[in-house]
Amino acid sequence: MICIIALVVFSIMGIFSLTYRNLAKEAFDCVFRRITFRPCNTGFNEKIKSQLVAKLLNKSVFAARIFNKYFEVFSWAFLILMVWSTFYTVRGGYNYYLYGSCNGLNQVGFCALDPGGNNNKVTEISNGQCGLVEKKEENVTLDNVDLSSFPTKNVNSKDTIVLIGCYECDYTRKAYLDIQKLVKEKKTNYIFAHYPAKEDTNYLSEVGYCVYKEYGERFWEFNDYLFTVDKTEIYQSSYVNTILNKYNFDVEKINNCINNPLTKEAVNNQLNQLIKTHLYGTPTVFINGKAFVGPKPYRVYKSILNKFIIF
């Protein structure tokens, strides 16, 4: 069994060293003999065993004796461990490619390929509104959520992307650019929902609602600006008029809309709909109903819409 382990280990080490490349060839020869039902009589197993036992013997006689006596058992154990770890490595790589995390979609455990966990970081919703249901990715859903009042474009597409995020959150800002790129490329149905995770930008929900209500498609220019401008500016509600002016919106009309009690009721309704998704942080992106919590790499979003994962 040691030849199988040796083949894998020496193949990897052989990338960097000719010595190990030759050992890998020897190991391959041995493995090939095994899989063709011939005995591995090249002496490779003995060589590896002897080298390992000799190294151990220089450290501990007892350890060397045990290792030598139960070499086959150790070989099998290492083989099983190797197969097990290979499976998890491959699965981790697959998960990382598809979901941006080695551990699976929205799973926050350690991932060597994303050691900082950046692909899962969210701005947690701190107001407790979502506390009724445990914060779990599988609970995040669009079922029974009415999104008809939120800004929407490309309504005829078969694919739908829903971005729930807040203007001031760094992670949403990160995901926003990728989502815009994806929507532009794939022409998907796109729904944007502002969820003010930190309450500093609560007022922008009403502003956004009114801009979309009064100006329709022109909302997206305003939205793009809010996600790309220095966020300290949008903390100040007084600054909003400047922004509206900048985009030639009728400030008075928008302000009248904002002050209309019906607007407050509509925005509250929107918020209630978002709470029904059981989201626990922003950004939360739904692509054809599948939830992605945290800013994923662009390829992750795109792979859901691709026919064959990578294209």
Partner 1 sequence: MLDYEKIKVDFPLLTKQINNKNIIYFDSACMSLKPRQVVEAMNEYYLEFPACAGRSSHKLGNIVTKKIRESRQIVAKFINANENEIIFTRNTTEAINLLANSLYLEKGDLVLTTDKEHNSNLVLWQILVKNKGIRHNIIRSDDDGNFDFEKYKELVKDAKLVSMVHTSNLDGTTIPAKEIIKLAHENNALVFLDMAQTIPHKKIDVKDLDVDFVAFSGHKMLGPTGTGVFYGKYDLLKKLKPFLVGGDTVEYSTYVDHKMLEVPEKFEAGLQDYAGIIGLGQAVKYIEIMGFNNICEQELKLNQYITQEILKNPRIKIIGPNDPNMRSGIINFYIDKVDMHQVALMLDEMSNIMIRSGQHCVHSWYNDKKIKNSARISLYFYNTIKEAEELIKNLNKIIQIL
Yes or no: say if 198 and 184 are a contact pair by the CB < 8 Å rule.
no
From 38, 65, 181, 246, residue interacting with partner 1 (rule: CB under 8 A): 65
* Count of positions on this chain that bind partner 1 (CB under 8 A): 15
Q: What is the DSSP string of 6-34?
A: HHHHHHHHHTT-HHHHHHHHHHHHHHHHH
Is the CB of 55 or the CB of 184 nearer to partner 1?
A: 55
Per CB under 8 A, the segment of 42-50, 220-228, 250-258, 288-296 that binds partner 1 is 42-50
Handedness of CA 200, 206, 209, 212 (dihedral sign): negative
User: Taking CB under 8 A as the rule, does residue 55 contact partner 1?
Assistant: yes
Is the CB of 41 or the CB of 245 nearer to partner 1?
A: 41
User: Taking CB under 8 A as the rule, does residue 229 contact partner 1?
Assistant: no
Q: Hey, how many other C-beta atoms are within 10 angstroms of the C-beta on 214? A: 15
Q: What is the DSSP string of 125-178?
A: --SSTTTTS---GGG---TT---TTS-EE-TT-S-EEEEEE-TT-HHHHHHHHH
Question: Per-residue x/- mask for partner 1, residues 188 to 227, rule CB under 8 A?
Answer: ----------------------------------------
User: Taking CB under 8 A as the rule, does residue 91 contact partner 1?
Assistant: no
From 11, 42, 68, 152, residue interacting with partner 1 (rule: CB under 8 A): 68
From 32, 46, 110, 224, residue interacting with partner 1 (rule: CB under 8 A): 46
Cα(96)–Cα(91) distance, integer angstroms: 8
User: Taking CB under 8 A as the rule, does residue 54 contact partner 1?
Assistant: yes
Cα(25)–Cα(22) distance, integer angstroms: 5
Cα(49)–Cα(71) distance, integer angstroms: 8
From 64, 98, 271, 275, residue interacting with partner 1 (rule: CB under 8 A): 64
- Position of tokens 């070499």? 71
Per CB under 8 A, the segment of 46-54, 94-102, 247-255, 267-275 that binds partner 1 is 46-54
Residue 57's Cβ-count burial label (10 Å; 0-12, 13-18, 19+) is middle
From 21, 47, 231, 264, residue interacting with partner 1 (rule: CB under 8 A): 47
Contact set with partner 1 (CB under 8 A): 43, 46-47, 49-51, 53-55, 57-58, 61, 64-65, 68
